[in-house]
Structure 1
Amino acid sequence: MWTQQSRGRMAQIAKKTKRYPSDLTDEEWERIAPLMPKPGRRGRPREVDFREVINAVRYLVRSGCGWRMLPVHFGAWQTVYGWFRELARRFLFQTIHDIELMLDRERCGREQSPSVGVIDSQSVKAPTAEKRGFDAGKKVLGRKRHIAVDTDGRLLMVNLTTADISDSAGAQAILDGVRKRWSWVKHLFADGAYDRLKLMDKASYLDFVVEVIRNGPIEAA
């Protein structure tokens, strides 16, 4: 018989069972649960399940579906979207990313915070984007991702622009972001597209050394 007790037991089993590949494991949730907003002292008790909110966001990102197409067992999409906006406003996703990156570096025997990074860009077609630009060098009409990674390829910072923005111009926002979030980074490697006076001046002002590599491997740090 389907009783309140059996319903509660099935709910606990469901939490431990991954319905989708994007669902958090118990171990993953335990690491980020302390970062979730604490309930207020006043007002109605909070009923939202933050684990389900994060699962819903991960499902949306992995599947590429829209908010209105979220499976119903994540709850009302308006509720999920509202909490996504609130958590993003609190920089929660950025905090989770940075903490996990540092923990992963530590697991690999590295210092938690990187001291060396690599900057680069990638132009991609974006037929449905509201704003696009033409990258004359790569013959691509769309958007451009300007990124900074550590020397193992972990993402440190990303700046999204239209594809007509030059690599050096897009990298200036990357330098600002890296300096604020990764204060230990002092040395950045880049290719010849970044060998521009304005970018080098800004790098010097922010206490970066940008080394332009024409050919050859980049040493890990």
Structure 2
Amino acid sequence: MTERRAYPSDLKDDQWQLVEPLLLEWRAARAEGRVPTTDLREVVNAILYVARTGIAWRYLPHDLPPHTTVYGYFQAWEADGTAEEIHNTLREQLRRKKGRRILPTAAVIDAQSVKASPNAPDATQGYDGGKKVKGRKRHIATDTLGLLLVLIITTAGVQDTNGGKLVADELAATLPTVTKAWVDAGYKSKMIAHAAGLGISVEVVSRDAEQKGFVVQKVRWRVEQTFGIMSRYRRLHRDYEALPSRSRSMIHWAMVNSMSHRLTADPNKVGQYLHSRPPAAT
């Protein structure tokens, strides 16, 4: 069989070496004496092809595995937490590479409303009156490198303050080392008090009323950078997944791709993931 030509979204060899051990371990635990025939690297490449191009699963090119096979693995890796485990493992490796502690002590919290697919159940959608968007809302916390720590998907009608409480709960439960967080002015005192009760001191970073146009905000630019990385993946421009849990998984795979690029980047080459810190506002 002739080897197919690579797509731009394919994992390079050094990127695959970061992911392969975890997927081989996953496969070994489920083999039960069977000889597997599906190439797991090609399955991951197909998932990333969907993420980067935004196509529907059934429109996968014929030289990638069948869309039913790929979606079956995508579902399985979401359901048993494999995708999130791979994501968290790469995050720890990248923090170590950047000279940080594996467990972060600070976070940046924000939210983003996106339109949902017409196929999404109405019960999983809502209306964000401020952004005038009907769909879902992504509540996230990142570390100070912009790496994803918490991801919660709700209806777009959930206020940032209430979503922020959920994020704080998740931070306290999974990363109790986090004791400091930054938010924008959309998060009210109830969220700040709730986080304080969990041992997280929240600082509101407000925009100066005299500032005009785009201005980099202290620390908060990191979470905006993360949303910017997500925007490079067309599948994330909207929430096309039928279930919020699948939305989380697609975002995790997008961030796995991003982090694997950063982990294998040539330190002598300035690329899209190696930009220096933006200049502070004057």
Structure-2 change in CA distance of 1:48 and 1:108 (3 Å):
same
- Secondary structure at the aligned position of 2:186 is classed as helix
**Alpha-carbon distance in 2 for matches of 1:157, 1:168:** 15
CA change 1:111–1:42 in 2 (3 A) is closer
1:6-17 equivalent positions in 2, closer than 5 A: 7=1, 10-11=2-3, 14=4
1-side partners of 2:67 and 2:114: how far apart?
A: 29
Show the counterpart of 2:27: 38
> What is the CA–CA distance in structure 1 between the aligned matches of 2:46 and 2:171, rounded to whole Å?
29
Q: Distance in 2 between matches of 1:35 and 1:127?
A: 31
The total of aligned residue pairs comes to 206
The residue number in structure 1 matching 2:69 is: 79
Aligned with residue 202 of structure 2, among 210, 215, 221: 210
Q: Write 1 or 2 for the structure with the bigger share of strand.
A: 1
Conserved 8 A contact 1:53-1:83: yes
Alpha-carbon separation, structure 2, partners of 1:127 and 1:54: 23
Q: Residues 38 and 140 of structure 1: is their aligned pair in 2 closer, same or farther, counting only changes over 3 Å?
A: closer
**RMSD of the alignment, in Å?**
2.5
Q: Cα gap change, 1:41/1:75 in structure 2, threshold over 3 Å: closer, same or farther?
A: closer
The residue matched to 1:72 in structure 2 has which SS? Answer: coil
How far, CA to CA, are the matches of 1:130 and 1:90 in structure 2? 23
Q: Which among 56, 72, 79 is matched to residue 89 of structure 1? A: 79
Distance across 2 between alignment mates of 1:45 and 1:163: 45
Once the 2 structures are TM-superposed, how far is the Cα of residue 191 of structure 1 from its aligned partner?
Answer: 2.1
**Larger Rg computed on CA atoms:** 1
> Kindly tell me: are residues 212 and 62 of structure 1, through their superposed partners in 2, closer, same or farther at Cα, counting changes over 3 Å?
same
Secondary structure of the corresponding residue to residue 63 of structure 2: helix
Does residue 178 in structure 1 map to residue 171 in structure 2? Answer: yes
User: In the alignment, which residue of structure 2 is the partner of 1:4?
Assistant: none
CA distance in 2, matches of 1:168, 1:46: 47
After superposition, where does 1:19-58 map in structure 2 within 5 Å? 19-36=6-23, 37-39=26-28, 40=30, 42-58=32-48
Q: CA deviation at 1:193?
A: 2.2
Shift of 1:59: 0.8
- Structure 1 residue 120 displacement after superposition: 1.1
Percent identity between the two aligned chains: 37
Unpaired runs of 5+ residues, structure 2, are 208-216, 223-282
Which residue type is aligned with residue 218 of structure 1? V
Shift of 1:56: 0.9
Cα deviation 1:83-107 (Å, max 9, x = unaligned): 2211112211111211222222222
Matches of 1:169 and 1:55 in 2, distance apart? 36
Cα 1:69/1:101, change in 2 over 3 Å: same
How far, CA to CA, are the matches of 1:112 and 1:143 in structure 2? Answer: 31
Q: Does the 8 Å contact 1:195/1:212 carry over to 2?
A: no
CA gap 1:41/1:143 in 2 versus in 1, 3 angstroms: closer
The within-5 A match list for 1:94-109 is 94-109=84-99
- Displacement of 1:27 in angstroms is 0.7
8 Å contact kept, 1:119–1:149: yes
> Is the contact between residue 116 and residue 186 of structure 1 (CA under 8 Å) also seen in structure 2?
yes
Deviations 1:174-205 (A, max 9, x none): 123323433321211112322232x3343234
Contact 1:147 1:155 in 2 (8 A): yes
